[in-house]
């Protein structure tokens, strides 16, 4: 148990029942409820331990949620918001393909599928599928000096972009205890990815006037 998830404020409130029952016994209040001081202090101590566990678990949950939401915001701004704004404009978008050819598409010729994983297993499997099946193309965006890359496929003169939140792979570096083995990682990732998904949904609503939601298809994988 890391003390960083049990700050001084919560630690104080968690020991209050022990201090309260002891003080109450000394002042003659508790004897009417408890037969002796040891039972009074024992009950207070038990209540303190329960409170400490509750505070600890809530703080850990808040930390994981905050971390997932930070990653979701970063992902949304760096890809979803950025490319979604491009799709919102009527300006043709230029792409550089592996054969060194530059191909140009308008927004109505482009579809983006964003795979949203529900667990580490689904993230890994979807990532492998996308990386093995689709080519890297570079978006030549006039507002940036360097193009950014995506994985996509050409289909009937249309461009289908396949994307997923690679940033979720970084969670294991921050939450090592939750990803200590495959079974535990699969279980814990489901809860954390749900926080990520909820934040993405919130941002899509918040920025709905700025991005092309009809071109960005978020699919559960």
pLDDT tens column, 120-149: 999 999 999 999 999 999 987 665 556 678
Distance from C-alpha of 2 to C-alpha of 209, rounded to nearest angstrom? 43
The larger pLDDT score, comparing residue 94 to residue 42, is at 94
Phi, psi at 193, each rounded to 5°: -65, -30
Under the banding of pLDDT at 50, 70 and 90, the label for residue 71 is: very high
Phi, psi at 211, each rounded to 5°: -120, 160
Is the pLDDT reported for residue 206 higher than 80? yes
By the 8 A CB rule, do 97 and 140 touch?
Answer: no
Q: Which helix (H) or strand (E) segment is 15 a member of?
A: helix 8-26
β-pair partners for 219: 115
Measuring CA to CA, which residue among 151, 143, 137 is closest to residue 101? 137
Distance from C-alpha of 172 to C-alpha of 179, rounded to nearest angstrom? 6
Is the pLDDT reported for residue 165 higher than 90? yes
Task: List, for residues 26-42, the tens digit of each pLDDT value.
Answer: 444 444 555 555 555 56
Phi, psi at 213, each rounded to 5°: -65, -30
Average pLDDT over residues 3-12: 45
By the 8 A CB rule, do 191 and 179 touch?
Answer: no
Distance from C-alpha of 123 to C-alpha of 189, rounded to nearest angstrom? 10
By the 8 A CB rule, do 66 and 175 touch?
Answer: no
By the 8 A CB rule, do 5 and 60 touch?
Answer: yes
pLDDT of residue 117: 95
The larger pLDDT score, comparing residue 35 to residue 165, is at 165
Name the 3-class secondary structure at 92: coil
pLDDT of residue 56: 67
pLDDT of residue 27: 46
Is the pLDDT reported for residue 23 higher than 70? no
Distance from C-alpha of 205 to C-alpha of 81, rounded to nearest angstrom? 12
Tell the burial category of 45 from Cβ atoms under 10 Å away from its Cβ (0-12, 13-18, 19+): middle
Distance from C-alpha of 92 to C-alpha of 219, rounded to nearest angstrom? 26
pLDDT of residue 140: 79
């Amino acid at each position: 148990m890391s003390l960083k998830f049990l700050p001084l404020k919560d630690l104080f409130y968690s020991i209050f029942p022990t201090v309260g029952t002891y003080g109450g016994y000394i002042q003659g209040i508790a004897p009417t409820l408890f037969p002796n001081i040891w039972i009074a202090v024992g009950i207070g101590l038990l209540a303190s331990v329960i409170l400490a566990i509750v505070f600890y678990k809530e703080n850990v949950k808040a930390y994981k949620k905050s971390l997932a939401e930070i990653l979701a915001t970063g992902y949304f701004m760096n890809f979803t918001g950025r490319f979604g704004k491009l799709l919102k404009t009527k300006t043709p978008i230029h792409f550089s393909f592996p054969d060194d050819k530059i191909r140009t598409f308008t927004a109505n010729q482009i579809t983006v599928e964003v795979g949203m994983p529900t667990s580490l297993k689904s993230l890994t499997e979807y990532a492998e599928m996308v990386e093995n099946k689709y080519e890297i193309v570079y978006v030549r965006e006039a507002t940036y000096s360097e193009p950014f890359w995506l994985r996509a496929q050409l289909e009937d003169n249309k461009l289908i972009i396949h994307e997923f939140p690679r940033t979720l792979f970084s969670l294991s570096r921050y939450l090592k205890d939750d990803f200590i083995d495959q079974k535990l990682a699969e279980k814990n990732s489901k809860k954390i990815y749900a926080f990520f998904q909820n934040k993405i949904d919130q941002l899509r609503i918040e920025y709905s006037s700025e991005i092309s939601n009809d071109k960005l298809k978020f699919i559960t994988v």
